[in-house]
Structure 1
Amino acid sequence: MVAEGRQRIDKWLFFSRAVKSRSLAAKLVVAGRVRINRDKAAQASDLVKPGDVLTITLERRIFVWKVLGAGVRRGPAEEARLLYEDMSPPPAPKGEAVPDAIPALRDAGSGRPTKKERRQTNRLIGED
């Protein structure tokens, strides 16, 4: 019997609209991409309760959500947002590079020759 206020993690992820289906939620949990209070969720049947902090890794995004309640159904997005509080760090601006990355510096025209330049070189060498 399930304790009051607790819900399976796969069901909760589905109701909160983190994933499109419950089977995808189960696969996400089994793949180790969901953490409950910093511990990896081992099974889709692991339970979450209000106050738990979930770390969810989807594609290239990381979500940190605090569970506010158990879901009853997969409703509209406004209803789903009531199930969690988003504590994710703000994403880095797209135009800003990673500070550790060194940009590749190269003079214009110093790369590989174009097809036109190769033809001119071949004519000079006499391979035409």
Structure 2
Amino acid sequence: MSPDKLRLDKWLWQARFFKTRTLAAKQVGGGNVRVNGERTLKPAHGIAVGDVLSFAQGRQARVVRIVHLGTRRGPASEAQELYEDLAPPEPRQPPPERVGERPTKKDRRALDALRAAEDGDF
């Protein structure tokens, strides 16, 4: 591979999108990563500066443009300089408001007994 290209799985790991390079390779091998809109199945696919990657990370869809290739897996601040995030930020939803107080231990035991009776577990 030429010096102006880098393996896709290695870049995803260096940019800290995946905790291990193996996880990054599994995502690519599973067909879950697109490079410039085209699905790729090879973790060794060569990527360059300017390429656009699309993939799922957890429950979030990520679309990033490669700005730098990087030479190592450094701290998060260094990793964030490797890409430009193109996906619009998802609005944060406030946590649901609690209805009433937390159940006591006695309440939980009563619920467990009720569920067990419904399931036929006596």
- What band does the TM-score fall into relative to the shorter chain? 0.7 to 0.9
State the match for 1:20 in structure 2.
19
Q: Once superposed, what is the RMSD of the aligned Cα atoms?
A: 1.3
Q: How far apart are residue 93 of structure 1 and its match?
A: 4.1
Q: How far apart are residue 82 of structure 1 and its match?
A: 1.0
Contact 1:5 1:69 in 2 (8 A): no
State the match for 2:49 in structure 1.
50
Residues 75-110 of structure 1 show CA distances to partners (whole Å, capped at 9, x for unaligned) of 001110111001112214426xxxxxxxxxxxxxxx
In terms of Rg, which structure is larger? 1
Q: Distance in 1 between matches of 2:23 and 2:92?
A: 29
Matches within 5 A, 1:17-96: 17-94=16-93
Gaps spanning 5+ residues in structure 1: where?
Answer: 96-114, 116-128
Total equivalences in the alignment: 95
Gaps spanning 5+ residues in structure 2: where?
Answer: 95-113, 115-122
Q: Residue 35 of structure 1: SS of its match in structure 2?
A: strand
Q: Distance in 1 between matches of 2:48 and 2:30?
A: 21
Residues 14-43 of structure 1 show CA distances to partners (whole Å, capped at 9, x for unaligned) of 000000000000001011111100001111
- TM-score under structure 2 length normalisation: 0.73
Q: Residue 12 of structure 2: SS of its match in structure 1?
A: helix
Q: Distance in 2 between matches of 1:83 and 1:46?
A: 18
* Bigger proportion of residues as helix: 2
Q: Residue 81 of structure 2: SS of its match in structure 1?
A: helix
